[in-house]
């Protein structure tokens, strides 16, 4: 896995090879790990992500006319599109996450010049670490700087989300993009997705003798499918049945009685996960903000995973096996992170035990015939920014 400096060098080199001269600048946008609060963002709830030091590098130059030419190191190809022709339901593949930003800008009355772009990422693809948001937000940040849009971080995130929702067809909430633009070293972000407010909360596990492990199950993770799309639909139906604007508005007090009035067992379980996981975000945030022992959040991580597994039904066997294995290997708590149906498990562990916990996860995966997982220690990093030029 290349570090960002090496990624910049290779991306600029690829740009020169593909387009014949140097880019005007290079930008970077990170992926994210969500500590807790899954599928709560499109329910107006709370989330608690950190930005990663891993993400997407984009080398960019303006060009005459309204054409977009993009080289992707991962795809091993260069593709192009006329910005005027980009529209919803168009089959653009990976290019949708780039071209969609230009389309989203045009919907807001912004003039989007044509661009030449070379891009590369050091995030594992399909791991649920928001590689797509890092791509769309890196592109949006570069476009804003070069076109003189002077957009805020929230506006950049909105462009990225619109590109993903409307052009790529990925029904994401707003968390991924906000985390990518608002990340800060040594901090987690408690995001209120209704008011779109971001509270920076100190997140220095090393000072407490702890590490946050991210373990990639290497089970394929895809958001553009019927299983993922069903969850927002069910949540809207549950809110309607409960007579509230969004599930965020259902109080935690008396929840069993409230849910007991629902006629659908499926909607009852979907609602219970969202309501309780959003509440867990607040509880974890208070522990971190008050300087409490972060080991206390271990149980909340385990509870969140059980809720995703049993009520929201978005985990898969390789992920469940990893979660149980890392807890057995000594983690204080662990949960799946990301949209589900594959992806990563995060684990809160004592510093110095990381290798043992990863080996325990690998043994468990091997025993069940699953792909060998890979792990790394996550640290909170800065958000989308210009690196050179």
Q: Which of 135, 172, 170 is nearest to 156 (CA)?
A: 135
Tell me the per-residue pLDDT of 345-369, one tens digit each, with 9 for 90 and over. Answer: 999 999 999 999 999 999 999 999 9
Predicted local distance difference test score (pLDDT) of residue 124: 82
Q: Would you place residue 178 in the very low, low, confident or very high pLDDT band (cuts 50, 70, 90)?
A: very high
Please compute the mean of the pLDDT values over residues 29-56 and round it to a whole number. 97
Distance CA 58, CA 251 (A): 43
Distance CA 67, CA 79 (A): 11
In CATH, 4-200 is 3.20.20.70: no
Predicted local distance difference test score (pLDDT) of residue 267: 98
Tell me the per-residue pLDDT of 17-34, one tens digit each, with 9 for 90 and over. Answer: 999 999 999 999 999 999
Catalytic residue chosen out of the listed positions 41, 116, 176, 277: 176
pLDDT, the chain, mean: 95
The answer to whether 170 and 224 have CB atoms below 8 angstroms apart is: yes
- Fold matches, 4-200 and 204-378: no
- In this predicted structure, the answer to whether residue 220 has a pLDDT above a threshold of 80 is no
Please compute the mean of the pLDDT values over residues 223-229 and round it to a whole number. 65
- In this predicted structure, the answer to whether residue 224 has a pLDDT above a threshold of 50 is no
The answer to whether 45 and 281 have CB atoms below 8 angstroms apart is: yes
* Weakest-pLDDT range from 28-42, 111-125, 210-224: 210-224
Dihedral (CA of 152, 96, 134, 348) sign = positive
Predicted local distance difference test score (pLDDT) of residue 221: 58
Task: Name the residue ranges covered by the structural domains of the chain.
Answer: 4-200, 204-378
Annotated catalytic, 355? no
Please compute the mean of the pLDDT values over residues 307-312 and round it to a whole number. 98
Tell me the per-residue pLDDT of 243-262, one tens digit each, with 9 for 90 and over. Answer: 999 999 999 999 999 999 99
Bigger pLDDT: 339 or 250? 250
Please compute the mean of the pLDDT values over residues 290-307 and round it to a whole number. 96
> What proportion of the chain, given as a percentage, has pLDDT over 90?
89
141: three-class secondary structure by DSSP: helix
- In this predicted structure, the answer to whether residue 86 has a pLDDT above a threshold of 90 is yes
> What CATH number was assigned to the domain covering residues 204-378?
3.30.70.890
Predicted local distance difference test score (pLDDT) of residue 242: 97
């Amino acid at each position: 896995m290349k570090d960002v400096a090496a990624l910049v060098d290779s991306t600029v080199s690829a740009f020169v090879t593909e387009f014949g001269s140097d880019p005007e600048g290079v930008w970077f946008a990170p992926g994210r790990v969500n500590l807790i609060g899954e599928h709560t963002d499109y329910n107006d709830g709370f989330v608690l992500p950190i930005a990663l030091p891993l993400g997407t590098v984009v080398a960019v130059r303006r060009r005459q006319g309204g054409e977009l030419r993009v080289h992707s190191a991962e795809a091993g190809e260069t593709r192009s599109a006329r910005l005027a022709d980009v529209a919803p339901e168009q089959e653009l593949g990976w290019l949708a996450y780039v071209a969609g930003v230009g389309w989203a800008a045009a919907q807001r009355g912004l003039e989007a010049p044509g661009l030449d772009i070379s891009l590369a990422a050091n995030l594992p693809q399909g791991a649920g670490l928001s590689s797509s948001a890092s791509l769309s937000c890196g592109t949006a940040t570069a476009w804003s700087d070069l076109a003189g849009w002077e957009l805020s971080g929230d506006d950049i995130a909105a462009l990225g989300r619109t590109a993903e929702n409307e052009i790529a067809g990925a029904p994401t909430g707003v968390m991924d993009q906000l985390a990518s633009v608002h990340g800060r070293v040594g901090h987690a972000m408690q995001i209120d997705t209704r008011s779109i407010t971001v509270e920076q909360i100190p997140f220095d596990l090393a000072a407490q003798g702890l590490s946050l492990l991210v373990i990639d199950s290497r089970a394929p993770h895809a958001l553009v499918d019927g299983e993922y799309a069903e969850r927002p639909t069910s949540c809207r139906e549950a809110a309607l049945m409960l007579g509230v604007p969004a599930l965020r508005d259902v109080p935690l007090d008396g929840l069993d009685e409230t849910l007991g009035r629902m006629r659908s067992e499926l909607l009852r379980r979907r609602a219970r996960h969202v309501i309780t996981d959003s509440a867990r975000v607040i509880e974890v945030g208070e522990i971190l903000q008050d300087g409490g022992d972060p080991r206390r959040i271990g149980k909340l991580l385990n509870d969140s995973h059980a809720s995703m597994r049993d009520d929201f039904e978005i985990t898969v066997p390789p992920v469940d096996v990893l979660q149980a294995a890392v807890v057995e290997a000594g983690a204080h708590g662990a949960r799946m992170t990301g949209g589900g149906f594959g992806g990563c498990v995060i684990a809160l562990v004592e510093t110095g035990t990381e290798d043992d916990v990863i080996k325990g996860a690998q043994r468990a995966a091997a025993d069940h015939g699953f792909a060998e997982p890979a792990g790394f220690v996550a640290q909170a990093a800065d958000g989308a920014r210009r690196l050179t030029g």
